[in-house]
């Protein structure tokens, strides 16, 4: 009996040990009790969900997300992202363009050519200052520009550029000489042209231009002398034709000033010729009054007139007749 009691004690101890090792079991309420203890609102919701028809639409106020709203929200995010990137690109490229333009427009400091020590000046400095000097477009400034660059040796790397500029400046000097030539100042034009250095590459232009000037001037002078010859012979039509030929000369002075001069001489010569004719008529009539009238008409002809010598001869003849009649 004692052994049986010990066995019971051992069994009780083992059972207690096993129970202590197992986790405590949650107390389950019966379904009726659980339903009994839930809040009333939850019970109603559960009832509605349990008895709702599968095809019934879901209430928009429910907590489940709408797929269309999610897609719209995603598209809006993508659109805003593209706008942000576009704005950023505009700002970046605009800044780069502004910076590049500013650097291009920012000119370096202009050197003071008047303070340059020319024996030590570089070729590029000489060319730059020569170009600035030539912009004045006067004979002294153009000659100074040529002198600045002609000091450089012929084998210099900048020589092609220098020769091109020197030829341009020499052409400008010849244009200034052309202005004097057109104004009727041939010798001044030649003097200006000869100021271009003989050693410059453009001096061949000088020789050709002077030759052209002399040829035009010589041709115009021959026409003018022919008109003068016709006037002395009282050939008004031939003199007028010669005057017209002057208008075709490639010189403004001869084509305008000298042409008008010849025309004026023709008009004056015609007027004086009429006076001389009237004096001859009175002389031929004879008599004291007509002889005095002939002398009076002939005396109106001026010394520079083509008919002056003939008028003086008529005056002498009229005086001699008066002496004989006296």
pLDDT at position 257 is 97
Rg (CA), the chain: 61
- Please compute, for residue 318, the number of CA atoms within 13 A of its CA located in the half-sphere on the CB side: 28
pTM: 0.58
Q: In the chain, which residues have pLDDT < 50? A: 1-10, 13, 15-16, 18-20, 22-62, 103-109
Asked whether the beta carbons of 126 and 149 are under 8 A apart, the reply is yes
Q: What is the b/e burial string over 108-134, where b = at least 16 CB atoms within 10 angstroms of the residue's CB?
A: eeeeebeebeeeebebeebbbbbbebb
> Cα–chain-centroid distance for residue 217?
37
Q: Where are the domains of the chain?
A: 115-201, 219-325
Q: Where are the alpha helices (DSSP H) in the chain?
A: 2-21, 31-37, 40-51, 67-105, 123-134, 139-150, 159-182, 186-193, 203-232, 236-246, 252, 259-285, 288-299, 308-325
Nearest residue to 126 via CA among 107, 142, 150 = 150
pLDDT at position 26 is 45
Asked whether the beta carbons of 269 and 237 are under 8 A apart, the reply is no
Q: Could you report the per-residue pLDDT of 81-94, keeping only the tens digit for each?
A: 767 777 777 787 77
């Amino acid at each position: 009996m004692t052994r049986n009691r010990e066995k019971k004690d051992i069994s009780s101890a083992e059972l207690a040990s096993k129970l202590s090792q197992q986790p405590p079991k949650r107390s389950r309420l019966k379904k009726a009790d659980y339903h009994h203890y839930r809040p009333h609102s939850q019970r109603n919701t559960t009832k509605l969900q349990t008895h709702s028809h599968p095809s019934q639409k879901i209430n928009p106020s429910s907590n489940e997300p709408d797929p269309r709203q999610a897609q719209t929200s995603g598209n809006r995010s993508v659109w805003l992202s593209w706008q942000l990137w576009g704005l950023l690109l505009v700002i970046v490229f605009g800044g780069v363009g502004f910076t590049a333009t500013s650097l291009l427009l920012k000119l370096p400091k202009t050197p003071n050519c008047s303070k340059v020590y020319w024996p030590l000046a570089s070729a590029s400095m000489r060319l730059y200052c020569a170009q600035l000097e030539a912009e004045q477009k006067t004979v002294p400034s153009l000659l100074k520009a040529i002198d600045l660059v002609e000091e450089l040796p012929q084998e210099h790397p900048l020589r092609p550029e220098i020769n091109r500029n020197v030829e341009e400046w020499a052409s400008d000097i010849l244009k200034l000489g052309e202005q004097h030539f057109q104004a009727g100042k041939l010798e001044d034009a030649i003097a200006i042209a000869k100021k271009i250095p003989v050693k410059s590459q453009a001096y061949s232009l000088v020789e050709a231009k002077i030759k052209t000037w002399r040829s035009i001037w010589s041709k115009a002078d021959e026409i003018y002398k022919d008109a003068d010859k016709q006037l002395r012979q009282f050939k008004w039509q031939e003199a007028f034709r010669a005057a017209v030929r002057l208008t075709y000369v490639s010189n403004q002075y001869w084509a305008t000033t000298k042409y008008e001069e010849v025309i004026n001489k023709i008009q004056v010569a015609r007027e004086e010729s009429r006076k001389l004719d009237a004096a001859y008529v009175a002389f031929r009539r004879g008599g004291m009054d007509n002889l005095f009238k002939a002398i009076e008409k002939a005396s109106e002809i001026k010394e520079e007139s083509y008919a002056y010598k003939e008028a003086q001869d008529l005056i002498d003849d009229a005086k001699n007749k008066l002496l004989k009649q006296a």
